[in-house]
Amino acid sequence: FDWWHASNLEGYAPICLGLEDFYTRRLYLRIQDCFGRPIASAPDAWFDVVERYSNDNNKTLKRTDKISRCLNLGSYNYLGFAAADEYCTPRVIDSLCRFSASTCSTRVEGGTTTLHKELEECVANFVGKPAAVVFGMGYVTNSAILPVIIGKGGLIISDSLNHNSIVNGARGSGATIRVFQHNTPSHLEKVLREQIADGQPRTHRPWKKIIVVVEGIYSMEGELCKLPEIVAICKKYKAYVYLDEAHSIGAVGKTGRGVCELLGVDTADVDIMMGTFTKSFGSCGGYIAGSKELIQYLKYTCPAHLYATSISPPAAQQIISSIKVILGEDGSSRGAQKLARIRENSNFFRSELQKMGFEVLGDNDSPVMPIMLYNPAKIPAFSRECLKQNVAVVTVAFPATPLLLARARICISASHTKEDLLKALEVITQSASFVPDCISEILNRVQ
Ligand code: PMP
């Protein structure tokens, strides 16, 4: 089963979020089709439209029949900035008044405000690189940058579970693509050795450039990247390291600086640092951080910089302000408290789920916790039962996961209280007991 290609099948949503009604129903119907099982239509298993998010990480959902307040266990609001914040929100409002919601211009045609300049400096400092460039969307950051930094004659070696934006960027680049087994440094080395040494004299290097692409935390697995080993291998074979920190920047590390800080990797050893602002910073957009030369080159050549409207000024202000809070530059210790809280919450929730007998993927400190349900037919019932008790979870199935590895993916936030987590554990246990264990039945059908 070719997962690399399956995750890009046209017409499928990568994540069965429930928010995307259209897609979930479509995915749902396909599951029904491929097993021939009469799974009754279950629109109530998904939460339809969100009316508001609140500071306590609840969301008010407008569902088909009623409005309800649900504990949010599904969003990437790792540090709780995706709600009104005493430091960020007034500054965001002020930036809206000064600059409006959009610059209506590209970066090179008047769309670079003082906020954009400040943001790029702030991001470069935060991630520990000499320079950075920001884009209006995280997805576009990967899919537009890869084709600019590598092309025909180059080689991309990509983790088999890399995000769809990386897959698309890699494909669009025209470079040769090889995939290594998910988070397996020994397999990466095997692929590199094959690609470099295969029958060639030691001095011959068949590729113009080699880029190894990995993620800091894998969003469907909750695993931390084995970055120290991967960096060592890349050094040995002179390959560039491209690290997507969408889920790790802000969320892990003593001061929130991501997997390099957590795993003791020198940021100088990671050539291209990519990340998004849509998770820990409660905003939108993405960044690339690297050497001054790389960033200048991207600013001159990347179409997404030259031809796309610049990131919205209030979104930029939200990022600057949230980074200030994280670093304690707002004059409070809220940032440090948030970082301590997300770590405590994540480790507590993971260990409680494991004690209860759930199979949970991922590593300690990671706020992403997939609970394995296996059978895709289980996910509507699980999601519906949680929702009935006002807990909103995201369920994920094919094609975002292999067919029989469906899961509920819990995302923990610093804004969850202990009471929230205890309630969630109770609801998850109860909901799991409603879900029939029909994995063997499904397997029989598939065989
Ligand atoms: N990279 C990874 C690893 C992601 O998980 C995502 C989205 N969750 C993106 C990139 C795209 O980011 P955005 O949603 O900010 O566009």
Q: Where are the domains of the chain?
A: 88-327
What pLDDT was estimated at residue 123?
Answer: 98
How confident is the model over 372-410, as pLDDT tens digits?
Answer: 988 887 888 888 889 889 899 988 887 778 888 889 999
Provide the pLDDT for residue 62: 67
Strand order in the sheet with 394-396: 368-374, 406-411, 394-396
- Atom of ligand 1 at shortest range from CA of 276: 15
User: What's the confidence (pLDDT) of residue 130?
Assistant: 98
Residue 166 C-alpha to ligand 1 middle, in angstroms? 9
If you measure from the C-alpha of residue 78 to the centroid of ligand 1, how many angstroms do you get, rounded to a whole number?
Answer: 14
Taking the C-alpha atoms of residue 141 and residue 324, their distance in angstroms, rounded to an integer, is: 23
Q: How far is the CA of 46 from the centre of ligand 1 (A)?
A: 22
Backbone phi and psi for residue 362, each to the nearest 5 degrees, phi listed first? 100, 180
Element (H, E) at 49: strand 49-53
Kindly provide the ipTM of the predicted complex, given to two decimals.
Answer: 0.99
Determine whether the shortest distance from the Cβ of 276 to ligand 1 is under 6 A: yes
What residue's CA is closest to ligand 1, atom 13?
138
Q: Write down the mean pLDDT value for the chain.
A: 86
- Which ligand 1 atom minimizes the distance to the CA of 162? 3
pLDDT at 445: 54
* pTM, two decimal places: 0.88
Residue from 182, 278, 279, 396 to probe ligand 1 pocket by mutation (most atoms less than 8 Å from CB): 278
CA of 168 to the centre of ligand 1 (A): 12
pLDDT by 10s per residue, the chain, length 447: 333 333 333 223 333 333 333 334 334 434 333 443 333 344 455 556 777 777 777 777 766 667 778 899 989 999 999 989 999 999 999 999 999 999 999 999 999 999 999 999 999 999 999 999 999 999 999 999 999 999 999 999 999 999 999 999 999 999 999 999 999 999 999 999 999 876 565 566 789 999 999 999 999 999 999 999 999 999 999 999 999 999 999 999 999 999 999 999 999 999 999 999 999 999 999 999 999 999 999 999 999 999 999 999 999 999 999 999 999 999 999 999 999 999 999 999 999 999 999 999 999 999 999 999 888 878 888 888 898 898 999 888 877 788 888 899 999 999 999 999 999 999 999 998 877 654 455 455 555
Q: What is the 3-state secondary structure (H, E, C) of 230-278?
A: HHHHHHHCCCEEEEECCCCCCCCCCCCCCHHHHHCCCHHHCCEEEEECC
- Nearest ligand 1 atom to alpha carbon 165: 10
Separation CA 320–CA 335 (nearest Å): 13
Closest-lying ligand 1 atom to the alpha carbon of residue 285: 15
Q: CB of 137 closer than 6 A to ligand 1? A: yes
- pLDDT for residue 4: 38
Q: Supply the CATH classification number for the domain 88-327.
A: 3.40.640.10
Pocket of ligand 1 contains residue 338 by CB under 6 Å: no
Which pLDDT score is estimated for 8? 36
Q: Is 258 left (phi over 0), alpha (psi -120 to 50) or beta?
A: left
Question: How many Å lie between the centroid of ligand 1 and the Cα of residue 237?
Answer: 28
Helical ranges in 66-150 per DSSP H: 88-99, 114-127, 138-149
pLDDT at 397: 83
Is residue 74 lining ligand 1, measured as CB closer than 6 Å? no
Beta carbon of 219 within 6 Å of any ligand 1 atom: yes
pLDDT value at position 20? 32
Ligand 1 atom closest to Cα of residue 76 = 8
Going from the Cα of 276 to the center of ligand 1, the distance in angstroms, rounded, reads: 6
221 lines ligand 1 (CB under 6 A): no
